[in-house]
């Protein structure tokens, strides 16, 4: 028996201005995407923004429904919009922001497991890493690839 360890490296930034320019632009797009949130039940507004390989940015926001499972997270709303409208373009990076009444969360918004699985598959489809940027009102986390937030991904059928 050998004990193994999985180590995850990521970058923490203290504010938006500290981010590299491309990431800062995407982070601001994710924050502005929160305006599209429809969250009459949770009142938690989430925005996501994806940068494609052609430089285009696609936004998404969480959409809730009275039949709860029919709603969808901001990340998947954005990924499915990007996949449907730009099927030949790679998703290079996704940024996520969330909050209540226009105020960003105190800690970065971390995507749910289902969204991570969908990210993983678009990353596999692209054959190149998709970075994930999680935003809060102060610190920002950047993971260079989806594997870092979903180790031992299932992607092999
Ligand atoms: N939500 C997202 O859109 N993304 C996340 O990463 C976390 C959760 C949404 C789903 C639901 O509309 C609301 O936030 C509360 O869970």
16-60 residue pLDDT tens? 999 999 999 999 999 999 999 999 999 999 999 999 999 999 999
In the chain, what are the domains?
A: 11-148 (3.40.140.10)
pLDDT reported for residue 153: 85
The per-residue pLDDT for 157 is 64
* Cβ of 64 below 6 Å from ligand 1: yes
29 is catalytic: no
Check residue 109 and report its DSSP letter: -
pLDDT, position 59: 98
Listed residue (157, 81, 79, 58) closest to 122, CA to CA:
79
Q: How far is the CA of 54 from the centre of ligand 1 (A)?
A: 28
Atom of ligand 1 minimally distant from the CA of 73? 3
Q: In this prediction, what percent of the chain has a pLDDT beyond 90?
A: 96
The pTM of the whole model exceeds 0.75: yes
pLDDT over 70 (residue 124): yes
Beta bridge partners of 38: 63
């Amino acid at each position: 028996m050998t004990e193994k360890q999985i180590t995850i490296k990521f970058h923490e930034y203290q504010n938006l201005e500290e981010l590299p320019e491309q990431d800062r632009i995407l982070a601001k797009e994710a924050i502005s995407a929160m305006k599209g949130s429809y969250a009459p039940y949770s009142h938690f507004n989430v925005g996501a923004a994806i940068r494609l390989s052609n430089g285009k940015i696609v936004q998404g926001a969480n959409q809730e429904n009275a039949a709860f499972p029919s709603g969808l997270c901001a990340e998947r709303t954005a990924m499915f919009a990007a996949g449907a409208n730009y099927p030949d373009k790679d998703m290079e990076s996704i940024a996520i922001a969330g909050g209540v009444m226009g105020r960003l969360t105190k800690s970065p918004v971390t995507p749910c497991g289902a969204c991570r699985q969908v990210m993983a598959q678009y990353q596999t489809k692209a054959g190149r890493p998709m970075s994930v940027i999680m935003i809060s009102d102060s610190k920002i986390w950047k993971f260079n690839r989806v594997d870092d937030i979903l180790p031992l991904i299932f992607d092999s059928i």
